[in-house]
Structure 1
Amino acid sequence: MTPPARIDVQDPFYTKEKRVKKSSMLAADAWLDSSLYDMGQSAGRGWTKFQDIMSIFRVRGILRLFVELLSDAFTFGAIGAVLMTALALPAFDATATGEFNKAEDYSVVFQDRYGNEIGRRGIRSDDSVALADMPDYLVKATLATEDRRFYDHFGIDVVGTLRAIASNASGDSGTQGGSSITQQLAKNLFLSSERTIERKVIEAFLAVWLEWHYSKDQILKLYFDHAYMGGGNFGVVAASDFYFGKKVQDISLAEAAMLSGLFKAPTKYAPHVDLAASRARANLVLTNMVAAGFLTEGQVTAARRHPATPVDRTADINSPNYFLDWAFEEAKTVIEASHHTSNNFVVRTTIDTTLQKYAEDAVTSTVRDSGAQYDVEQAAMVVTDTKGAVRAMVGGVDYGKSQFNRAIVSNRQPGSSYKIFVYAEALEQLGLTPQDLITDRPVCIGDWCPQNYGRNYKGSITLASALAQSLNTVAVTLSIKTGRDSIAALSHRMGLRADYPITRSLALGVASVSVLDMASSYAVLADEGYKTPAYGINRIASLTGDVIFEAHPDDPRERILSETTVKGMNQMLRGVVTGGTGTKAKIEGVPTVGKSGTTSSYRDAWFCGFTGNYVAAVWFGNDDYHPTRTLTGGNLPAVAWQKFMAYAHTNIEIKPVFGVDFVPEQVVIAATDPSQVEDAPAERPPTLKPAAARKLVDVADLLRTTLRATMPVTDRASTPISVETSGL
């Protein structure tokens, strides 16, 4: 038997026989076909079952009409729900923040330093009275006129709305609107006053939201507090005080009816706008109360016969208006920074009403008596104590004619009153003293060569004499030695806030300053060298008692000048008054110091200075910048300054000035006429009215002259005499 031939597996030409396999694609195709067939069969059976089920609900005849109408109603209802939801989105946004509309402004009651009310600014608003404390007839008058079904509806008075639509269609001008109290509140709290369909839809949503989140009494209280009542008043509490001068708890039925009549159209029915229309509207409110069953006709008869009479608001209450305008802006800055939710605040200021009257009298009488002679029409004054508290502010001669506050606007050049910065920097930086000599001679910076007022030169002279005589060339020489940049920097540290260019004439007062800032700057010297910015607010609190600001004048402050520099400056400024350009500011018995200032072409005239008690800066000039008739700072400004200081130092302890060797002898004069004495809080002794103070100052001057005449001739120049006047 022949053995089989051996096969060489390495043979490259050998091909192994392979078994044929079935294709997987064929199986997939078969599965897909069968699946589709099964799905079709299932769908067919399902449709047959659906038809069988629906046949049960099939209706015919008249019943089908109702079914179709119901179906369309559901369809359109769904569309309407989507549309209403879209319109309500702004309402959702309004409530999401949880914040109500802010009133147009803040309501601020201002008090003087002793807590007496001196005026108001902004809106008038007060939310401090609880609903339970308001008169019952005020609540009923409001409900009878604005929303009789207030305690029954869900925020939208459907019946009232339909009635209002029918009334408007018939041309009747009914006494009730279609909006409920809740809807009116929603508008006041969240919306503007525009009249559109979209706003009414949003208002309706907000009304429902308010009903869900607040009780009826809470809603009514919010309504009473936020409704605009005309005359800048928001809420019935403020309106009661404004129109009747009463607390809302004390108003009569007739007054309550007049207030309730304001809700519909406050600008139309406000009693100070149209008293007849206001009374007619109040009479209609009384009729509504009878119709609603709240009162009987007999109970409202007296109110009809004796309608409410508003108080007269036209009289001038002599408020320190320039100061209040400034204090209001300062208060708003503090309030906004505090993020307090209230709009109503009480601000205790630093103003002293007696000193304010003295300041106003000093300024206006000086302009009245001598303004025409020097062709000057305006003046301003700021008075502070030595710690910076503003005691008086006069922004012009007549607030009724011009509310422009010339005391705080930084647009005037100070002239030589700026030289305190030049000399203080020289004493501080160069170590000079008032007795050091300096040469008064021509000096030039480039092609600019300043001259002295008398166009002459004094040669070798002490710094004290140079400042007393206000020598321009010496001031420029000092500015060259210290550098003008350092002088400007010192002026800003001492109190000047406005930026100004640093020019070669800076030493002569070519800068932009305000009267308020000059008072702050001189206060640094009055307060022994410490930074003493002027401030007018002691305390700010909400009506609920939340204190959001309180001044602390005794807190540590930055030292600006050394004691040595302050002593030297005060000694030199004392020389300005005793024998320099400011002699008209001298007051016998009072250590007065200061500096005059006059700008080129006599456009501005200043006198700034202080005593141990008060600091005052005075400016005279014209609003249109036309030059005066050679008016200098040592003339009318010094006269007005002296008038005020003479008044202000009656009946007070005269304090010394730091660095000035002056100890007055006290002589007391008594004013025996009680009618000439101002009322004053217990913290302050009684003081004289300005006219009486002037007379008393004249008597004091006469007494000093008489006493000095009795002294030996050798003692007259060296012995100071002080007359302390008393208003007792």
Structure 2
Amino acid sequence: MSSARPPRKNLVAPRRAAPGAKPSAGKATARKPARSGKPKGGNPISRFFRAALTLIWRIIWGVAWRGTAVVVLILGLATFYFYTTLPPLAEMLDNRAQGSVTMTDRNGEVFAWRGETFGGAITAANVSPHLKNAIVATEDRRFYRHFGVSPRGIAGAIRANLSDGRGAFSGAGGSTITQQVAKLLCLGVPYNSDTWSSEAEYEADCRRGTLWRKIKELPYAFALEAKFSKKDILTIYMNRAFLGAGARGFEAAAQRYFGRSANEVGPAESAMLAGLLVAPSYYAPTRNLERAQQRAAVVIELMHDQGYLDAHEYAEARAHPATLSQRAEKQQGIAFADWLMLDAPAYLARETTEDVIMRTTFDPDLQAATEAAVAKVFTEKVRDDSEAQVAVVVMSPDGAVRAMVGGRQSQTGGFNRAVQAKRQTGSAFKPFLFAAALENGFQPFDIVEDAPLTIDTPGSGPWSPRNYDGEFRGFVTMSEALTESLNTPAVRISEAMGRDRVREVANAFGLRSELAEGPALALGASEANLLQMTAAYAGILNGGSAVRPYGIEELKLLGDSTPLFGVSSGIGERVISERSAQMLTWMMSRVLEEGTGRRAKLPDHQAAGKTGTTQAARDAWFIGFTADYVAGVWMGTDDNSPLTGVTGGGLPADIWRETMIRVHEDLPPRPLPMIAPESPRSEATPRPAQSAPRTAPLDDAIRGILGSIFGGN
């Protein structure tokens, strides 16, 4: 029997049914045959370029992430290095190499600063919130959100610089406050006098906006952010920023401009202070208040736009811009302060490394009176285009300087004509000649001849003095010779006394510059400055003792209670007797009563003084005193060219009178310490210019000296 087998079926896996589908019965799934076609990947050229691009990308990516890793590593190491070198916060608030000098007047009020003053440390926690907000709104609006560097700010600054035709890193820097702190700290490099000639040069070098410095700023800024809080960084910034007029830090600036602490300033004042950061000297309100207010208005807008000022505060700040304090607005005593910086020991003034406090003799009321007098005379009596300059000094009889004008325009560090201009004194020198004569036995009514005189000077030839008006008056008294400022009698007395004796007395009174050797000594051919001359006249007023002018009553270091030194009087050794000084004072009082200084006569106070005019009117002087004050006035030009129509008895006498009227406004009249000698007849009696000798007795010995020396020409 044969058996039949069923046909063989292909064995294939059943197709997986979809979830929920019913399997189909009696059907087998057949495998699809493989599809034949072209090789995968396209043509060989495409594959080549694709492979090349892939290789290039892998190379770039490999270099990029490795380079980035290296940069991040270097940046991290640099940040760590700077982090370890950062000092404690307290040591970073004041790192000035030079100290400052703060000067107070006789009432204890600050009137001047020199050097970079530091008002004391302030903190972001205690400072006025308006000031803190103004700084952030102006300098770095994203300060609280970034990590020390603002890429957006840097990119915007580069774009602005390039669009303005500058270098990428010249001009706007896009620096955050943290980066500005890095600049202020000079990236941790301390000041070295061997490397930089001055602190200003050091700071200028630290602020240079080069690419390499920008790169170095990054890790230093990161280190600051890592070590200090935002408040600490802002604290450093507020204490280290320079804000014009020698103010270092916002506390010093607030005190300088507004007379109050940075903890107390309002929105308008805060805006003005923050506005200084962009250009401190240019926007300093002491230099141009209107410009400073315009800059402050921009800051107020920023504060309002960023939500730091509400509508009421914004309107109030715009309506009432900040103004200077009365003290800052006056800027009094510029010449006085400059003099003290020159007169004080350099290590306690110009070169001090400490903060110094000077209590001075300066009187702001007398300074205001002096400046008002000068302004009045120049406004009413001097042409607008005149190049005439002026200097004025007011002091007490003991040498305490109370006021000083160094020129028509006062500016810090300018030429101070009261102390730096040495000029011929002219007839203002004559009181010291007559002081020598009185001390050696002459009397005010002794007679001397005013007649032509010629003296043969070895090496110079014959010399003949003349009076200002070219006239001779014959025989006159010594008092008349001084009253009318006669030259020939002065020379005769000087020659009789001996020039060495005249120089000795003048030197003892404080005129220590080299005095003339020839007979012109008697006529003021020697040079002196106004301060020296005024102090010498003070010596006559106080009874014949030398006077050293002084302006510092007490000097101490900031924070110390014990003064380093103090001065209570400038009176020194006696030069002439009190009687001689009092007789000379009487003779000088006649100058104002009936002589060349009549225009200086005061309405209610006794006064004495002397005029002086040099050859060709290059210098004009009037120096005089009352029982309370001594004042000196000089007029001339800086190039020593002649004045037009000016003598010592003219404009200088007018300025002296206007000054002393104001100075004595609230002072009761006091008599001068003087002795009026007995006269054989009234001084007021008129006489001819060429009169016969007076009948006043002349000491026989003195008559013999004069007769033997001046018997002929």
| Alignment correspondent of 2:675 | 660
CA contact (8 A) 1:574 1:594 kept: yes
CA contact (8 A) 1:147 1:180 kept: no
Relative distance call for 1:534 and 1:303 in structure 2 (3 A) is same
Distance 2:180 2:399 in 1: 50
Do structure 1's residue 382 and structure 2's residue 396 form an aligned pair?
Answer: no
Distance 2:315 2:601 in 1: 65
Do structure 1's residue 392 and structure 2's residue 403 form an aligned pair?
Answer: yes
Q: 2:519 aligns with which of 486, 490, 504?
A: 504
Query: Following TM superposition, by how much is the alpha carbon of 1:387 offset from its aligned partner in structure 2, in angstroms?
Result: 1.3
Relative distance call for 1:615 and 1:324 in structure 2 (3 A) is same
Q: Secondary structure at the match of 2:545?
A: coil
Do structure 1's residue 570 and structure 2's residue 585 form an aligned pair?
Answer: yes
Which one-letter code corresponds to 1:610 in the other structure?
F
Q: Mapping of 1:283-294 within 5 angstroms?
A: 284=302
Map Cα deviations across residues 1-46 of structure 1 (whole Å, 9 max, x no partner): xxxxxxxxxxxxxxxxxxxxxxxxxxxxxxxxxxxxxxxxxxxxxx
Q: Secondary structure at the match of 1:656?
A: coil
CA contact (8 A) 2:583 2:676 kept: no
Q: 1:561 aligns with which of 556, 576, 588?
A: 576
| Alignment correspondent of 2:240 | 226
Distance 1:167 1:644 in 2: 59
Q: Which sits farther off after the overlay, 641-650 or 407-416?
A: 641-650
Map Cα deviations across residues 86-129 of structure 1 (whole Å, 9 max, x no partner): x99xx99xx9x999764899575x55433456566666753254
Structure 2: gaps of 5 or more residues:
1-62, 162-171, 191-202, 678-713
Q: Mapping of 1:666-681 within 5 angstroms?
A: none
CA contact (8 A) 1:243 1:310 kept: no
Which one-letter code corresponds to 1:419 in the other structure?
K
Q: 2:370 aligns with which of 359, 367, 371?
A: 359
| Alignment correspondent of 1:423 | 434
Map Cα deviations across residues 374-403 of structure 1 (whole Å, 9 max, x no partner): x99554432212112233334455669x97
Which one-letter code corresponds to 1:225 in the other structure?
N
Map Cα deviations across residues 396-447 of structure 1 (whole Å, 9 max, x no partner): 55669x976543342432211111222223344x444434444444241331
CA contact (8 A) 1:443 1:450 kept: yes
| Alignment correspondent of 1:324 | 334
Q: Secondary structure at the match of 2:479?
A: helix
Query: Following TM superposition, by how much is the alpha carbon of 1:449 offset from its aligned partner in structure 2, in angstroms?
Result: 1.5
| Alignment correspondent of 1:617 | 632
CA contact (8 A) 2:130 2:265 kept: no
CA contact (8 A) 1:141 1:286 kept: no
Do structure 1's residue 251 and structure 2's residue 265 form an aligned pair?
Answer: yes
Do structure 1's residue 535 and structure 2's residue 524 form an aligned pair?
Answer: no
Distance 2:476 2:275 in 1: 79
CA contact (8 A) 1:597 1:632 kept: yes
| Alignment correspondent of 2:209 | 195
Q: Mapping of 1:18-37 within 5 angstroms?
A: none
Distance 1:579 1:144 in 2: 70
Relative distance call for 1:622 and 1:340 in structure 2 (3 A) is closer
Q: What RMSD, in angstroms, separates the aligned Cα atoms of the two structures?
A: 5.3
CA contact (8 A) 1:367 1:378 kept: no
Q: Secondary structure at the match of 1:619?
A: strand
| Alignment correspondent of 1:600 | 615
Distance 1:280 1:647 in 2: 44
Distance 1:98 1:418 in 2: 56
Query: Following TM superposition, by how much is the alpha carbon of 1:593 offset from its aligned partner in structure 2, in angstroms?
Result: 1.8
CA contact (8 A) 2:450 2:488 kept: yes
CA contact (8 A) 2:93 2:236 kept: no
Distance 1:609 1:269 in 2: 43
Relative distance call for 1:250 and 1:449 in structure 2 (3 A) is same
Q: Secondary structure at the match of 1:451?
A: coil
Which one-letter code corresponds to 2:648 in the other structure?
G
Q: Secondary structure at the match of 1:652?
A: coil
Q: Which sits farther off after the overlay, 113-122 or 163-172?
A: 163-172
Map Cα deviations across residues 306-363 of structure 1 (whole Å, 9 max, x no partner): 6556324699987375x423323424764852265456x6655434444444434444
Which one-letter code corresponds to 1:407 in the other structure?
A
CA contact (8 A) 2:548 2:571 kept: no
Map Cα deviations across residues 207-258 of structure 1 (whole Å, 9 max, x no partner): 7998999998766434212213467653223444677775422334676577
Q: Secondary structure at the match of 2:620?
A: strand
| Alignment correspondent of 2:50 | none
CA contact (8 A) 2:362 2:401 kept: yes
Relative distance call for 1:452 and 1:654 in structure 2 (3 A) is same
Distance 1:166 1:363 in 2: 56
Q: 1:445 aligns with which of 435, 456, 459?
A: 456
Q: Which sits farther off after the overlay, 308-317 or 246-255?
A: 308-317
Structure 1: gaps of 5 or more residues:
1-68, 663-728
Percent of aligned pairs sharing the same letter: 32
CA contact (8 A) 1:386 1:613 kept: yes
Distance 2:624 2:335 in 1: 25
CA contact (8 A) 1:186 1:203 kept: no
Query: Following TM superposition, by how much is the alpha carbon of 1:661 offset from its aligned partner in structure 2, in angstroms?
Result: 4.9
Number of aligned residue pairs: 565
Q: Secondary structure at the match of 2:427?
A: helix
Q: 2:423 aligns with which of 412, 416, 423?
A: 412
CA contact (8 A) 2:131 2:267 kept: yes
Q: Which sits farther off after the overlay, 573-582 or 331-340?
A: 331-340
| Alignment correspondent of 1:682 | none
Relative distance call for 1:252 and 1:622 in structure 2 (3 A) is closer
Query: Following TM superposition, by how much is the alpha carbon of 1:550 offset from its aligned partner in structure 2, in angstroms?
Result: 6.2
Q: Secondary structure at the match of 1:594?
A: strand
Distance 2:665 2:294 in 1: 51
Distance 1:165 1:618 in 2: 59
Which one-letter code corresponds to 1:532 in the other structure?
V
Do structure 1's residue 337 and structure 2's residue 347 form an aligned pair?
Answer: yes
Distance 2:372 2:148 in 1: 65
Relative distance call for 1:600 and 1:208 in structure 2 (3 A) is same
CA contact (8 A) 1:358 1:648 kept: yes
Q: Secondary structure at the match of 1:194?
A: coil
Q: Secondary structure at the match of 2:547?
A: coil
| Alignment correspondent of 2:127 | 134
Relative distance call for 1:548 and 1:533 in structure 2 (3 A) is same
CA contact (8 A) 2:550 2:570 kept: no
CA contact (8 A) 1:475 1:508 kept: yes
Q: 2:106 aligns with which of 104, 109, 113?
A: 113
CA contact (8 A) 2:98 2:352 kept: no
Relative distance call for 1:256 and 1:103 in structure 2 (3 A) is farther
Relative distance call for 1:204 and 1:536 in structure 2 (3 A) is farther
Query: Following TM superposition, by how much is the alpha carbon of 1:615 offset from its aligned partner in structure 2, in angstroms?
Result: 1.0
Which one-letter code corresponds to 2:336 in the other structure?
W
